[in-house]
């Protein structure tokens, strides 16, 4: 947040990106262009999401995605839109998508960046008109410019991200992102087709009164998680769980709270994906003054070895995540 020049609410995303770039004399503009490309794809997906109930494309395609989950057509559509926008934009040499088993090479071998993306998370919520979201994570490639991207470009580790963010298709559509200098939020004005700066500098409250988890797994949760949740309930805290990660995360980011996806028997390593869910949301939350942990330490310190590997995720207000962790430590000592 050093030398950040405060920009007035109402600034367009375009002007914001331009002014931010001007703060860094050595910036060449490629990352700026990449962010524009992501915002463009977000506008297109937003239009598809808003029409989802109206067009014949709704409903499961009957196709399985690489995760073996029933694929809703909108996440196929979103996947195509983001890959196309990143290919046409020219700045990303490769994309790793939740919807694709392997790296998608864009053909932009001179592109300096790679993007890991969940094009439309929570797509099972589409048919019931619940908010859904895109989550993205950007790295500067480590493979030689001019050649194809490699696995290593995507497996550099969470602290090597140069930018990360999400687009929330909710009661309004918002783009929230960081380039390592704080977190800014932009709200989309459909009639103008523009994102406008609405949240110049987002900081998560150090504590909150909301816990977000699927309590249907209560008897599956580790004891320390149940102990923590019982304490939250004794304190009269509120359970809020949309079942759409970006929606739950965004609410907690603004009001304070904790999102928990612990290990379960169905997902012993957690359900959420490291590269395009946990890492970007962990980068954002640390930039906003919050905390993101798995059972084994900070999310950003995870050493990912597989593209689609999963992790438990505890993310949100620092005092809430830290209190949970003290219980987990207590559990270990009791063992």
Q: Which is nearer to ligand P6P, 89 or 170 (CB)?
A: 170
Is residue 260 a known part of a binding site?
yes
Q: Which stretch binds ligand P6P (CB under 6 A): 33-41, 104-112, 240-248, 302-310?
A: 240-248
Closest CA to 120 of 219, 52, 216, 183: 52
The smaller minimum CB distance to ligand P6P, of residues 103 and 213, is found at 213
Q: How many residues bind ligand P6P (CB under 6 A)?
A: 8
Q: How far is the CB of 139 from ligand P6P (least distance, A)?
A: 22
Q: Identify the residue among 7, 12, 124, 319 touching ligand P6P (CB under 6 A).
A: 124
List beta partners, residue 169. Answer: 132, 173
Dihedrals phi, psi of 120, to nearest 5 degrees: -150, 95
Q: Which residues contact 45 (CB under 8 A, 6 or more apart)?
A: 77, 78, 81, 82, 119, 120, 134, 167, 169
Compute the least distance from the CB of residue 211 to ligand P6P, in Å.
Answer: 13
Do the annotations mark residue 120 as ligand-binding? yes
Token duo for residue 45: 């997906």
Using alpha carbons only, what angle is made at residue 318 by residues 317 and 320, rounded to the nearest 5 degrees?
Answer: 70
CB 125 within 8 A of CB 96: no
The number of CA neighbours under 13 Å toward the Cβ of 117 is: 32
Compare residues 156 and 214 and give the one whose CB is closer to ligand P6P. 214
Least Å distance, CB 132 to ligand P6P, is: 8
Yes or no: say if 220 and 267 are a contact pair by the CB < 8 Å rule: no
Q: Which is nearer to ligand P6P, 174 or 245 (CB)?
A: 245
Kindly identify the residues of this chain, within the stretch 29-68, that bind ligand P6P according to CB under 6 A: none
Binding positions for Mg(2+) are: 98, 118, 120-121, 277
The residues binding ligand P6P (CB under 6 A) are 121-122, 124, 214, 243-245, 271
């Amino acid at each position: 947040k050093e030398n950040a020049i405060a920009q007035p609410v109402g600034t367009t995303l375009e002007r914001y990106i331009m002014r931010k770039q001007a703060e860094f004399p050595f910036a060449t503009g490629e990352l700026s262009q990449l962010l524009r490309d992501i915002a463009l794809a977000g506008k297109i997906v937003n239009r598809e999401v808003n029409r989802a109930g109206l067009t014949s494309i709704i409903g499961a395609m009957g196709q399985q995605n690489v995760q073996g989950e029933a694929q809703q057509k909108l996440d196929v559509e979103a996947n195509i839109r983001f890959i196309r926008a990143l290919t046409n934009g020219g700045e990303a040499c490769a994309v790793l998508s939740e919807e694709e088993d392997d790296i998608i090479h864009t053909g932009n071998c001179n592109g300096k960046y790679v993007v890991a993306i969940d094009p439309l998370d929570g797509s099972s919520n589409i048919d019931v008109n619940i908010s859904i979201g895109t989550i993205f994570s950007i790295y500067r490639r480590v493979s030689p410019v001019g050649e194809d991207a490699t696995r290593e470009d995507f497996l550099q580790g969470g602290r090597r991200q140069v930018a990360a963010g999400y687009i929330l298709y909710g009661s309004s559509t918002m783009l929230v992102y960081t380039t390592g200098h704080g977190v800014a939020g932009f709200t989309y004005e459909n009639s103008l087709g523009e994102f406008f700066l609405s949240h110049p500098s987002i900081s998560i409250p150090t504590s909150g009164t909301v816990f977000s988890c699927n309590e249907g797994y209560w008897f599956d949760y580790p004891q320390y998680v149940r102990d923590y949740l019982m304490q939250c309930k004794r304190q009269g805290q509120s359970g809020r769980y949309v079942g759409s990660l970006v929606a739950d995360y965004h609410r907690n980011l603004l009001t304070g709270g904790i999102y928990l996806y612990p290990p379960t028997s169905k997902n012993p390593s957690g359900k959420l994906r490291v590269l395009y869910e946990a890492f970007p949301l962990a980068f954002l939350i640390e930039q906003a003054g919050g905390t993101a942990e798995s059972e084994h330490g900070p999310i950003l310190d995870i050493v990912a070895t597989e593209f689609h590997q999963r992790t438990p995720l505890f993310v949100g207000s620092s005092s809430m995540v830290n209190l949970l962790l003290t219980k987990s430590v207590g559990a270990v000592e009791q063992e």
